[in-house]
Amino acid sequence: MPGLSVKRRADAVGVLRYVNVLLMETLAAWVPSIPEMEAKVLFGRHIWRVAQRADSFGLRARELRAPMHHSVAPPPNCLLAFKTGAALRSTDERIAGYHDLLLGALGAGYAWYLEQTDRLVDEPSVVLIESGLREIDVMRTESARLLEDFPVLRLDPPRKLDDLRNALAVCGGMLANELAHDAATAG
């Protein structure tokens, strides 16, 4: 397995940082306009989780010879999909959209990186990303608990977000351009 060059790893980590910051800003913008107290504090808690993840990726980028907090926007169609998610208005759409779809897209990016990188040489990145995947699980568990206690916040029907789901499908490859280039040059 060829792995990734140092520069490609830095740029991929930069994309992951960018997306985590975007999620942080999305949640921050939502919180004051969410009426339901329990949903408000759920997102308040998540803000710190994604902020810490972004911070970790920013520090990792420096270790990969990039500037501290190196941030790289994902491909335009993926970025547009995340911004479409950020524009969700109702609490039930936001809960489902964030936990099922936006985190799903981020998780797909994490999984892709882990599949492509050299896990020994790039172990510091692997540790961060595996931690990020666990954090996605924690956020989803907290959301599931909220919906058990407050079923009225469950999105019904789920197909209301089909357009966002379809838009985010491209984000499974948010790092793919970087990775495909590396795989091609490695031969």
Q: Does residue number 108 form part of the binding site for another protein (CB under 8 A)? A: no
Q: Does residue number 37 form part of the binding site for another protein (CB under 8 A)? A: yes
Sequence-distant (≥ 6) Cβ neighbours of residue 163 within 8 angstroms:
84
Q: Spell out, one character per residue from 53 to 92, where the chain touches another protein: x when CB under 8 A holds, - when not.
A: --x--x----------x-----------------------
Could you give the CA distance from residue 78 to residue 97 in angstroms, rounded to a whole number? 15
Binding residue for another protein (CB under 8 A) from 34, 78, 175, 176? 34
Smaller CB separation from another protein, 131 or 166: 131
Binding residue for another protein (CB under 8 A) from 1, 2, 7, 41? 41
**Looking at the chain, how many residues does it have?**
187
Q: Spell out, one character per residue from 119 to 158, where the chain touches another protein: x when CB under 8 A holds, - when not.
A: ----------------------------------------
Could you give the CA distance from residue 106 to residue 20 in angstroms, rounded to a whole number? 8
Q: Does residue number 45 form part of the binding site for another protein (CB under 8 A)? A: yes
Sequence-distant (≥ 6) Cβ neighbours of residue 184 within 8 angstroms:
none
Cβ proximity of 83 and 147 under 8 Å: no
- Looking at residue 90, the DSSP 8-state letter turns out to be S
